[in-house]
Amino acid sequence: MPAARNQSRASTLLENVQVLAIGATSGIIAGGSVFTMPAIYILGLEGRSSFFQIFFVPLLGVAIGAGIGALMGHFSDFGISKDFIDSVKSKVVPGTSALFLMTSSANTEKVAEEVKKAGLKAELTEKLLALTDPVTGRKAIHAVHDSAVVYKGPYAGNGPDLLVGFAEGYRASWRAAAGEVEDEVFTDNSKSWSGDHSIDRSQVPGMFFCNRKLDVGKGIGLIDIAPTILDWFGVPVPGHMDGKVVR
């Protein structure tokens, strides 16, 4: 069941499983079959009942069954705690949603660990995207990519949890490469800066030069270079490799 929050109004809960509705519906079926037929014979209405009596008895059975079914659905221990859902709804960022999944069995410690990890990544992403240069007033981070989303294949777990894509004109400090931390969040770069790999890819224009004629009508990206070279040399492209072969 997803909990969604629109930009202009409060969060809403879109339940795929309605416990009360299931209970009431099953109660209607049970009530109609359990109460109706026995009642007709117990009251001696078979063969001599009026239309009203025949109609009223099943209707009464349906009403009783629906009530009992709804009551059982209300008190049944099924689904996700409403208090927990409400607590999550209050933290959903406008324009996004949270998805609740129910499984027959799960490793609760592993699930709790992953939920905690996802929450931490979301918090870090929000704070990084809000990071503003006090001198220029510009945002220093253009995008933050979750490796669980952008990476795939057998080596996906070797990557960092988050990939920080800096905005144009910003990068990690020189001391960061050595595992050190600057005294200030923003410092001026006084060294030569001719190229970098930390600016977000969407902010970096590029040109492709090749001495072979290729069909680039559908475009070509850096991610396509490796599989294309392997294909040129007749080497099978591994199925887990990203990118497409351009010929």
47-73 burial code (b ≥16 CB/10 A, e <16): eeeeeeeeeebbeebbebbbebbbebb
Question: What's the pLDDT at 40?
Answer: 59
- Please give the DSSP secondary-structure letter assigned to residue 97: E
**Residues linked to residue 13 through DSSP beta bridges, in sequence order:** 3
Mean pLDDT within 35-39? 60
Highest mean pLDDT among 7-16, 75-84, 150-159: 150-159
- Which comes out higher in pLDDT, residue 32 or 84? 84
Is the pLDDT at 4 greater than 50, yes or no?
no
Is the pLDDT at 1 greater than 60, yes or no?
no
Q: Tell me the pTM.
A: 0.54
Task: Give dist(CA 169, CA 15) in Å, integer.
Answer: 45
**Residues linked to residue 141 through DSSP beta bridges, in sequence order:** 166
Task: Give dist(CA 160, CA 148) in Å, integer.
Answer: 9
Question: What's the pLDDT at 32?
Answer: 54
Mean pLDDT within 24-39? 56
Question: What's the pLDDT at 10?
Answer: 54
Task: Report the mean per-residue pLDDT for the chain.
Answer: 74
Q: Where are the domains of the chain?
A: 2-89, 107-203, 206-247
Cα dist. 113→120, 181, 202 in Å? Answer: 11, 28, 32
